[in-house]
Amino acid sequence: MSGFDWPALLRVSASAGVRPAEFWALTPAELILVLGLEAVEKPLNRARLAELERMYSDVKGAP
């Protein structure tokens, strides 16, 4: 079972003026915008992965 509290998400969306049928048709990106979560950290991309590899390398002396 997923960890999402769907009833709470639906209530928040409804308070933003989103009808239930519209809510269920939203993409995850659209839901994030409706909920005002656009400040959430962006998905991992190649540049961020390379940065993390440099920061947390298991190899001593790695660049």
Can you tell me the distance from the alpha carbon of 11 to that of 13, in angstroms, rounded to the nearest whole number? 5
pTM for this entry? 0.49
Domain annotation covers residue 13:
yes
For the segment 42-58, what is each residue's pLDDT rounded down to a tens digit?
678 898 888 888 888 88
Name the residue range of residue 12's domain.
6-55
- The tokens of 45 are what? 């991309």
**Hey, CA dihedral for 22, 28, 30, 34, is it positive or negative?**
positive
Is pLDDT of 63 > 60?
no
pLDDT more than 90, % of the chain: 3
User: ∠ CA 46-49-50 to the nearest 5 degrees?
Assistant: 85
Please give the tally of structural domains in the chain.
1
Domain presence at residue 31: yes
Task: Confirm whether 32 is domain-assigned.
Answer: yes
Is 47 within a domain? Answer: yes
Tell me what pLDDT residue 1 has.
Answer: 45
Q: Is residue 62 part of a domain?
A: no
Amino acid identity at 21:
A
